[in-house]
Amino acid sequence: MEQDKNNTSRKKFVLWSIAIVSSITALKLFPSASKKKQTVKLLTQDGRLVEVEKDRIGASKIKITDEELKSWVKNNKRSIR
pLDDT of residue 34: 53
pLDDT at 32 (0 to 100): 63
pLDDT of residue 5: 66
**Shared-domain flag, residues 25 and 43:** no
Question: What's the confidence (pLDDT) of residue 22?
Answer: 92
Q: Cα 21 to chain center, whole Å?
A: 23
Asked whether residue 46 falls in the same domain as residue 23, the answer is no
Q: Confirm if 52 and 40 have CB atoms less than 8 A apart.
A: yes
- Assess whether 45 and 28 both reside in one domain: no
| Contact between 44 and 50 (Cβ < 8 Å) | yes
Q: Is 39 helix (H, G, I), strand (E, B) or coil?
A: strand
Q: Are residues 8 and 28 located together in one domain of the fold?
A: yes
State the virtual CA torsion across 70, 71, 76, 79 in degrees, nearest 10.
140
Low-confidence ranges of the chain (pLDDT < 50): 81
* DSSP at 56: G
On whether both 4 and 26 belong to a single domain, the answer is: yes
User: Can you give the residue range of the structural domain that contains 73?
Assistant: 39-80
